[in-house]
Amino acid sequence: MTSGSTRLPESFYRHTGHGSYHSTPATAGPWSPKTQHAGPPSALLGRALERHDARDGFRVARVTLEIPRPVPVAELRVDVRTIHSGGRTELLEGELTADGRTVMLARAWRIASGPADTPALRPEPVPPPVPAPQPSPTMTGAHLDGYIAAMEWRFVSGGGFDTPGPGTAWARQRIPLVAGEDDTPLTRALTLADSNWAVASELDHIRRLVINTDITLALHREPVGEWLCLRATTAASPTGSGLASGRLDDESGDCGRILQTLLVAER
């Protein structure tokens, strides 16, 4: 386990031109300093999806990301294409490759924004306030000097990554996604979304292999501000799989949902 005390890079990625990006050590996930947490590459794809042939009055309402293999801390290439484009909806597809191999896929619905007088249906209770600063979280056996250190974490319940959930945690990025650029509501949400199952932390990831194969983020409105809150739970069944589900809030309240399929296997 590393200390989490090393100096952070200036960003998760540096744009090297023509759809290519240099991955900094801040992208490294908890399992190895050589492979990325899925949050930053999800956001990198989200950034490309919302920029691709952007249209006024349209917003990305849902992104589903597939993770066929670990994303290496290496040079990455992002490509996006339009599958369908209509008057009110668009279906987009993105691919992230490393050394010519597909490491992440994305499909997103970009839809026309609803009318301003659309009612706010089924309002959920407001989230708990952002707690006071806390020590950096621990995670047994994990690499802490990458993504975990690049995010500021404040747990409301669950106590941290080593405490069985369900869990509630606020988090924000300490560094931007791409050097020299401002983050967007979508990229901030995607940078955090893959942490949903770890905040829930209800399956023993030390004794068994627990890892997600995908991430779905659905937003009914754009998140506002740097701080985002995950309220996450896990369902699992014998001879089945795991399912981590979470609600995403900003300081004003509910803005979306996260769903992840979890592979549960003997090590």
Kindly give the confidence (pLDDT) of every residue in the chain, 267 residues in length, as a single tens digit, with 9 standing for 90 and above.
334 446 899 999 999 999 999 999 999 999 999 999 999 999 999 999 999 999 999 999 999 999 999 999 999 999 999 999 999 999 999 999 999 999 999 999 999 999 999 988 877 788 899 999 999 898 888 999 999 999 999 999 877 898 888 999 999 999 999 999 999 999 999 999 999 999 988 888 878 888 999 999 999 999 999 999 999 999 999 999 999 999 999 999 999 999 999 999 988
Contact residues for 121 (Cβ-Cβ < 8 A; gap 6+)? none
Among all chains, which residue has been given the structure tokens 């409301």?
156
- pLDDT for 177 equals 98
| Residues linked to residue 235 through DSSP beta bridges, in sequence order | 243
Residue type at position 23: S
Q: What is the DSSP string of 205-244?
A: TTTEEEEESEEEEEESS---SS-EEEEEEEEE-TTS-EEE
Q: Domains of the chain by range and CATH? A: 13-113+141-266 (2.40.160.210)
- pLDDT for 256 equals 96
- At 176, is the secondary structure helix, strand, or coil? coil
State how far the Cα of 259 lies from the Cα of 245, in Å rounded to an integer: 5
State how far the Cα of 170 lies from the Cα of 156, in Å rounded to an integer: 7
Closest CA to 151 of 57, 261, 60, 228: 228
Distances (CA, A) of 242 to 17, 77, 174, 248, 253: 39, 31, 30, 19, 27
- pLDDT for 3 equals 41
